[in-house]
Amino acid sequence: MIPMSGVEPATRVFFETFERGSAAGDAASLAKLYTESFLVAGPNGVQVVKASDLAHIVPKRKQMLDAAGCGDAKLVSLNETRLDDHYSMVRAEWRWRVNCGDSESPEITLPSTYIVRRSGEGLQIVFYLAHGDITAALRERGLL
């Protein structure tokens, strides 16, 4: 069971859907989980991304992770803070198990923070903050 702190059922289901879409590399289903344009921030800066751009981003990311021997990202924890009637801040931790061909498969765990908008149509991500960089973590371990 995933540790969850103050997480509403709809938010849990939303991030489980996100996890499945990521594992499948399903850009179309992932794009529906974001607003038309959303903000992405991380160690390398900030940019505005269009949900339609995920059709190009998701397959390349999945291919890179597969080539590095990463299993699918697993959601290992969620923490939700309701900001108002429309927005929540959700902190998630994602874990990848890396298959190095030896008996020990290292794990990489990275936190992310999302601002999620709640509307009559459901939840959508408006802001995504990556607190780490999976690509850099794989490079540090000599896997890329």
**DSSP string computed for 35-50:** EEEEEEEETTEEEEEE
Task: List pLDDT tens digits, range 36-62.
Answer: 999 999 988 999 999 999 888 888 888
Owning domain of residue 119: 4-140
Which residues 6+ apart lie within 8 Å of 39 measured at CB? 46, 47, 48, 49, 126, 127, 128
CATH number, domain containing residue 89: 3.10.450.50
Amino acid at residue number 96:
W
Task: List pLDDT tens digits, range 65-120.
Answer: 877 777 778 999 999 999 999 999 999 999 887 775 555 667 888 999 999 999 99
Quote the number of domains for the chain: 1
pTM: 0.87
Q: Coil, strand or helix: which one is 53?
A: helix
Name the pairing type of β-strands 45-50 and 34-42: antiparallel
Distance CA 137, CA 144 (A): 9
